[in-house]
Structure 1
């Protein structure tokens, strides 16, 4: 009986390495791994051993006869990913080693020339930092000190995942295990740049690995965006998750309609939480202040708007399935789907998204509060004098304007890294300038400085994507240490 990967898939890839017959794809060695919306089990190859179930850190894998309620659709998603083709011509091209197990992910590379002890500083404690620490601590010479600005660790795994995504949030159990390692010290409430400087870290440690993420929203540059009643979706996520930076970011949940500009997964999260039954949210770890505010909300509709057509929705297929098959009430105006040519779409995921959107459009408009997904509308301005009263859109590619009344407007058009003092910044990409994790100036590596996570590659991928990303950076850091390329530590830690 084959197994199935379901919505909470985090892209960690631990299951890939645990599988004895290499039936889970894409693997980190395959070209589409970095952009895949989830991993997929080939039902024709799976031998039902259950090794992947044990390896998965978020409980996203189940036998086909025990799929959790509301996730039954993923049985077809896994099977359709491979279609009727043999593995050698599947969506992710592989070679003759398809059925050969990959090397265990936990086996570290051998480095004979590492300093002993080797002291590493990691700035940040989010997923990329925790995965990097896990890789570093496989080497007995290495000791890691992690510096976290906040009073709680784990970054977006703690403050960025919606509270009703309990399975995804359970990745914190893995990070708690890593955090308990005797050679890892996590210093909370420590801000690099205020409490300590980067230069001090470089003096005290053999290498510094910056894993500070991409904490800034991309700004929507249209008139009226600074009016009261307009705020970033990220601030709302921080508010309902109890992030200390966003305790004062409570939106005024009055009026009938809120508009979310952008339709990625964060936009869907915000819309789902704002329309959820507060009694259901009470069983999560949502911030109590947010729960109280949601109980008093008068919002009846959350309109999630994308600039492009439905075939180009920024949300992932797993997130859309969770929205459509879960407790949320969601609807699409059939008129938004009339011009989509499914046969012309490049990917199976896009075709499946459109098919599911058509299914939603065929349903009756649900009772309030509900979510409506709209497409093909480009924002022109936020309307209002003293505060936001609506948004003027233009139908993308035309001159036709569409005015939507709303008392709240949330922007959700992506994250962006911000410049860090004493680190070279690539303004075009919103990242620290680097080559495969080595910080660079004019393409030349800066000895002893490394980056991982979103500040390295930009805000792409999922929690588990950081595992392979951090392993790449750590491999280069250790290779440099092994080759004697790190600067000599000028002071002893604790001196």
Structure 2
């Protein structure tokens, strides 16, 4: 390889010699030399939906900006790849749009780069005019109760990562030998887990579920799944689409306590439309007698799932030998207030629920990325106003879950990310962002990474990985067979 030249923070003095021969042209290195206004150099940290939607909006609405996307894994797309359930391929179609963004002449993907370890935020600030932090919520919330570390207790985040092929979770090896599983939480992720545990194997075999997970699920003895929530039917966090899928899951029937739904029909008219439709479906499923065809179907089912309301976990119960979980102790709760703002309070009663498999699905959590970036640990977000980071110099922004918390669906993230990108564009137009000096962008960061022994993965490198995964999947009738080891990914792109 030809020697790389040194760089200064002001101007890129030499062509970039990297793996992708078109990179020099894509970076626009030199356009700023002949222009009165230097080319805006922008970087986005995180290649999930928030990162790609932010980049998409910036590239669409600014004809000169260069946008570089940094990702700690060698592969892009974040939760679209590692969070969306394997049996929801239609949700993953957004990858096609993200791919078009990444192939733009003014966009660069730099995978296998961990911001905060391989390169600091402060170094990025010296190389770019603006930085958008879109690194999501990569940690999990703890239950904070006795026994939660016992074998048989798993976080929803780890389990989802395991069946979706996230390299960090490939060794999870959950014990699925219990007939009853309890999921603590009543959101979409909780329903995803329940559906994965109860789905007929022939449905999962056609998805991109990780092969070790498929093999383990084929041996699973789980026949009943309870989803436990501390509040009531009017506060469940899942969506109507997910609920309808669960109600109609082949080979599985729902079980309800009709008393949980008494009187809800009287208040339906006063509910906001999305909550009204969801509650109508819950009430209909719980209180109305199923039709003859559905009744026959349910009678033939060998698996079941149910919703348990007004219960909050206070301890995981150990087995007699103390070596694993054998159940969960629940505090019976009641509500104070109404609607979305209702708060659960303990009544003093408790209830034990026997089970050998427990999932904590109480949410994800963002973590600080740098001591120099303001962070609110209690809320788990970066303080911001319309995406502009508060308490930080101009030029620092955030989008996605690290901006608003781990809530909403992909379309929520799209709107949120467009808002952040628009704030950045407004600051470019108003002069709030200083463009008086050129910034070297990715060329400077690549030099730093080279000195530190870090070899970034380009988007064309990812496409090599994608081609191998797709070819391997085709052999077994799956959309792809995910590579679970980052070292194997890097070996593919170094050939």
> TM-score category by the smaller chain?
0.7 to 0.9
Counterpart of 1:331 in 2: which secondary structure?
strand
What corresponds to 1:438 in structure 2? 388
Q: Is the 8 A contact 1:192 1:198 kept in 2?
A: yes
| Contact persistence 2:199–2:249 (CA under 8 A) | no
Number of residue pairs the alignment of both structures matches: 380
Q: 1:477 corresponds to which residue?
A: 424
Q: Which residue of 1 aligns with 2:203?
A: 280
The 3-state SS of whatever aligns with 1:255 is: coil
Residue 358 of structure 2: aligned partner = 409
> Is 2:331 aligned against 1:382?
no
Question: Once the two structures are superposed, what CA deviation does each residue of 1:222-257 show, in whole Å capped at 9, x if it has no partner?
Answer: 221121211111111110000112112231111111
- Take 1:250 and 1:125, find their aligned partners in 2: how far apart are those partners? 27
CA distance in 2, matches of 1:205, 1:223: 47
The equivalences for 1:388-399 within 5 A come to 388-397=325-334, 398-399=347-348
User: Does structure 2 retain, via aligned residues, the 8 Å contact 1:417–1:430?
Assistant: yes
Alignment of 1:369 with 2:321, yes or no, is no
- Runs of 5+ consecutive residues of structure 2 not aligned to the other structure: 1-34, 335-346, 445-495
1:115 Cα deviation after fit:
4.0
* SS of 2:379 mapped into structure 1: coil
CA separation in 1, counterparts of 2:72 and 2:36? 29
Looking at structure 1, the residues matched to 158 and 358 of structure 2 have their Cα atoms a distance apart, in angstroms, of 12
**CA distance, structure 2, for counterparts of residue 321 and residue 127 of structure 1:** 25
Q: Which has the higher helix share?
A: 2
Which digits, 9 at most, give the CA deviation of each residue in 1:166-206, with x for residues without a partner? 11111111111211111111011110011111111111111
Aligned with 1:181 (options 104, 108, 118)? 104
**SS in structure 1 opposite 2:348?**
coil
* 1:223 and 2:146 matched: yes
Describe the shift of the 1:349–1:470 C-alpha distance in structure 2 as closer, same or farther (beyond 3 A). closer
Structure 1 CA distance for aligned equivalents of residues 263 and 176 of structure 2: 35
Q: Which has the higher contact order (CA 8 A, sep 6+)?
A: 2
Q: How does 1:159-178 map to 2 (within 5 A)?
A: 159-178=82-101
Structure 1 residue 403, shift from structure 2 partner: 1.2
Structure 2 residue aligned with 1:424, among 351, 359, 374?
374
In the TM superposition, what is the alpha-carbon distance from 1:337 to its structure 2 partner? 2.6
> What is the CA–CA distance in structure 1 between the aligned matches of 2:302 and 2:47, rounded to whole Å?
39
Which structure 2 residues correspond to residues 43-58 of structure 1 after superposition, within 5 A?
none
- Alpha-carbon distance in structure 2 between the residues aligned to 1:394 and 1:266: 23
Q: Do 1:116 and 1:141's aligned partners in 2 also have CA atoms closer than 8 Å?
A: no
Structure 1: runs of 5+ lacking an equivalent: 1-112
Give the distance between the partners of 1:477 and 1:115, measured in 2 at CA: 17
Partner of 1:357: 282
State the distance in 1 between where 2:283 and 2:415 align. 36
Tell me the secondary structure at the aligned position of residue 279 of structure 1: helix
Q: Any residues of structure 2 matched to 1:328-343 within 5 Å, and which?
A: 329-343=252-266
Cα RMSD (Å) of the superposition?
2.0
**1:460 equivalent in alignment to 2:407:** yes
